[in-house]
A and B are shown apart, each in its own frame.
Chain A
Amino acid sequence: MIPAEFDYVAPATVDDAVRALADAGEEAKVIAGGQSLIPVLRMRLAAPTKLIDLGKIAELRGVREDGDALVIGAMTSHYDVMRDPLIGEHAKLIAVTTSTVADPQVRHRGTFGGSLAHADPAGDLAAPALALDVEMVAHGMDGKRTIPASEFFVDYFTTALRPGELLTEVRVPKYTGWHAHYEKFNRVAQAWSIVGVAAAVQVEGHTIKQARVGLTNMSSVPVRAGGVERALIGQEATPEAIKTAAEHALEGTMPVADGNADIAYREHLAKVLTSRAVTAACR
């Protein structure tokens, strides 16, 4: 199908984009990679009056170091995130998770910031963002503010971004030397996660020193598996210890039933996949 009519601007700077968004009013929408938005427009599930395209804003693309953090521009494509040497070294969980998103064509267009702002509960990047305690940097007419990941994801497709605000950057603390794995369960190629588990661990010898675990699609928002993390810390990375820790995976979850899985099946998956993700990360 063909989208309904809309106006279009492609500003060259963040300031111009913020102003364009304010001028265009409530019915306008930002377009990043368009890989979620254009399908929605084609199905006519949304009919914004105006699109503000962030694609021409060079300052929003790329990854840089800032002290003990990495700063990922919101418009950095999935493809660039996967291959970025800084992300590979200091935030491997984000790289490995991104490589499971969609398919190569979608990863060429879709962006890191667009995925987070879209806040689809089945989207894969929110769980690692939450687990790694990233911070979202938002720009609006009132200037810039920082939102911790733990406050960013509010509900299905809803974030703490206010009307007129853009997500411009994501600040990721460095997890240098950590091992990571994303275990995604879906039935067919290029499908969304039925459940996904993001795990990052710091291992010394055979002992798990620190652990970060986040769950995809076990609630309307990503869930931090704090119980699993606490149960892992200080343990030897044995199959028994990991399995015991994974029993905590349901703490704080509120899964729903849908065409792919009922609640009991999702709960079963969450534990099994947590165990697999941590095991693979420890290897």
Chain B
Amino acid sequence: MRITVTVDGTTYTDEVEPRLLLVQYLRERLGKVGTVVGCDTSNCGACTVHLDGHSVKSCSVLAVQADGCEVTTIEGLARDGQLHPVQQAFHDNHALQCGFCTPGMIMQAIDLLAEDSDPDEQAVREGIEGNLCRCTGYQNIVRAVRDAAHEMRPGAGPEAERISGAQAGVHRS
């Protein structure tokens, strides 16, 4: 099947098998290996990306279901060499150890902050409940998300992520 998907501001048109998962499409076809796969059961959230502005587990979406949609991955966050405020807050607060959960955590944290620009600790914990971390014990992750919230007031919506027209191009692979 032919699909057209905009990923991190670039539009791709590709022929894919219906059974191809969105995460495989991102990693194996587009080389966006920043998005990782941590489980086989849709539980870990490491594969979280934004689909039309909302967080989803990209291992639980078929690439064909993303036809006509806009996808943002962890690779589409930095601007002109500047980390996204949530990425910076993870760095500043030591919110990662092995880093495997980090791409998904950051994408989900951005989704959470778009819904609630100043979440308390409980709201952060609930907002990232679909993301598992085996290393940190979550403490510093929660701290980083709240820190980012303060940096970013009044909140980063899908708008904050939209890539400017100048950078967007069309690419076929």
Contacts and interface: CB of A to CB of B under 8 A. Distances in A.
B130 A51 contact: no
Contacts of B19: 2-6, 41
Interface stretch (A105-113, A124-132, A197-205): A105-113
Contact of A42 (B40, B65, B112, B129): B40
B56 A105 contact: yes
Query: What does DSSP make chain B's interface, helix, strand, loop or mixed?
Result: mixed
A215 B24 CA distance: 39
Query: For the side of the interface on A, what is the size category?
Result: 20 to 34
Given A38-B42, A42-B59, A108-B54, A189 B64 contact: no
A102 interface: yes
Nearest to B42: A39
A142 B21 CA distance: 35
Interface in A20-71: 31, 34-35, 38-39, 41-43, 51, 53, 55
Given A104-B130, A109-B56, A8 B64 contact: yes
Contact of B61 (A1, A7, A102, A109): A109
Contact of A10 (B21, B45, B64): B64
Contacts of A35: 42, 60
B1 interface: yes
A104 B112 contact: yes
A106 B57 contact: yes
A190 interface: yes
A208 B109 CA distance: 41
A79 interface: yes
B173 interface: no
Given A1-B40, A42-B40, A109-B60, A190 B54 contact: no
B24 A2 contact: yes
Interface residues of B, number: 31
Given A35-B42, A53-B65, A7 B18 contact: yes
A16 B47 CA distance: 33
B108 interface: yes
A120 B42 CA distance: 17
A103 interface: yes
B13 interface: no
B64 A104 contact: no
A34 B60 contact: yes
Interface in A74-121: 79, 102-106, 108-109
Interface in B10-59: 17-19, 21, 24, 40-43, 45, 48, 51, 54-57, 59
A103 B112 CA distance: 11
Given A8-B62, A35-B60, A55-B65, A105 B55 contact: yes
Nearest to B1: A8
10 contacts: A2-B21, A3-B21, A10-B64, A34-B65, A35-B60, A43-B41, A53-B64, A53-B65, A105-B130, A109-B57
